Structure 1
Amino acid sequence: MQPQIEEQKVDYRPLGISGLGGWLVLVQIGLYLTMIMVLVQLFQYSLTALNPGTWEILTSDQSSFYHPWWGAIIIFEVTYNVLFFIFSIVTLVMFYRKKSVFPRLMIIFYSMSLAVSIIDYLLLLQIPIARELEDGSGLTGIVRLVITCAIWIPYFIKSERVRNTFIR
């Protein structure tokens, strides 16, 4: 006769705080706002630059606004904005599904935002007319992103709520 093995119910819920509350509410709002801002950027600036007339003015060597970098910068910005919009959607889905990959996606999200902003700013400074029109807002945006990264990247690395929420 074999001894009866009693099944024990194991509670796999994490200890401590968890869930999509707390500071994660700000992250969620930030993701939605980013998606809106990327769409605005895409439709107001990037796609209008692809308009045949605008494209011709900026990329034709007969134009007074011509610079060889315009075409590459416009394509770079359009590509980045489209990919970043898709990445934001994927990240938001992982957020609501509480997937363990979400914290890494957010670290990539913030890091890439900063890196691409710096690259874009430096590329635009190569164009004399863009450099003349620079009013400091590009540099201000980069400083804002540095502060954002300095706050949120450590949060996603060290937060108990993040560790306990995104475990699947």
Structure 2
Amino acid sequence: MNNNYPPNPNDQERERPPYGAPQPPGPRPPLVGLGGWLTVFQIYMYWSLFIALVSIPTYIAVLFLAANEDALPEEVRSVLSLYGDNLQALSVYELIVAIIQFVLLVLMMVLLYTRKKSFPRLAKMYLILSLAFAVIAFFVVPPTSGMVASMIWGAVLTLAWNMYFNRSVRVKNTFIR
């Protein structure tokens, strides 16, 4: 009698699997989809979209305030005087930038979630364009202590994300192939 369960009616023993060294797992599944570092980029896109949505009414309000300086208290006028005569032009510039960023981000999200081939190219363009807008604003706005560090950090992140979109296997499998 053997110890196989269920009992073997023919009294024949079944072959037991050989016990040897564990075999390596099969091939890894391909990196495809919106996971991994693309999740971080999606969070960045949603955050940037939120900032653009908040910025648009803010810059409209600043334009209104700059046009009606007489209605402002003295404390607010002293803060706005730091910008000199550039406040209205700067507000128009920032409003246009916020609208452009909003439109590009909505377009990028549509391309991302429909997995269109043009998404990586548009994402790289958006990152470079955002850095260019920040550099232009840097030369227009009176400098503060954190602006230079912020510009360097933005340039490093733009370079890193552009390298990711150029070299990532997940990006190639999801959007290119």
Same fold (TM over 0.5): yes
SS at structure 2 position matched to 1:99: coil
Q: Is the 8 A contact 1:98 1:167 kept in 2?
A: no
Tell me: higher relative CO, structure 1 or 2? Use CA pairs within 8 A at least 6 residues apart: 1
Gaps of 5+ in 1: 1-14, 126-130
Give the AA of the match of 2:176: I
Asked whether 1:43 is paired with 2:60, we answer no
> In 1, Cα distance between the equivalents of 2:150 and 2:54?
16
Q: Return 5+ residue gaps in structure 2 as ranges.
A: 1-28, 71-76
Number of residue-to-residue matches in the alignment: 140
Residues 77-116 of structure 1 mapped to structure 2, 5 A cutoff: 77-116=94-133
Per-residue CA shift, 1:135-168, capped at 9, x if unaligned? x232232122112112110000111110110137
- Residue 25 of structure 1 is aligned with which of 19, 34, 39? 39
Q: Secondary structure at the match of 1:50?
A: helix
- Percentage of pairs with the same residue: 28
Structure 1 residue 17 displacement after superposition: 1.5
Cα distance, 1:42 vs. partner? 2.6
Would the aligned equivalents of 1:94 and 1:101 in 2 still touch at CA under 8 Å?
yes
1:121 shift after superposition: 1.2
Matched letter for residue 86 of structure 2? W
Which amino acid is 1:154 matched to? M
TM-score normalised by L of structure 1:
0.74
* CA distance in structure 2 between the partners assigned to 1:137 and 1:81 by the alignment: 21
After the TM superposition, which parts of structure 1 deviate over 4 Å for at least 4 consecutive aligned residues? Answer: none
Which has the greater radius of gyration?
Answer: 2
Q: Tell me the secondary structure at the aligned position of residue 18 of structure 1.
A: coil
Taking the aligned partners of 2:161 and 2:92, their CA distance within structure 1 comes to 29
Q: 1:1-168, aligned counterparts within 5 Å?
A: 16-44=30-58, 46-51=59-64, 53-57=65-69, 65=81, 67-125=84-142, 131=143, 134=144, 136-167=145-176
Q: Secondary structure at the match of 2:131?
A: helix
User: CA offsets, 1:96-137, max 9 Å, x none?
Assistant: 010011001110111111110010011113xxxxx4xx2x23
Q: Distance in 2 between matches of 1:140 and 1:78?
A: 24
RMSD (Å), alpha carbons: 2.2
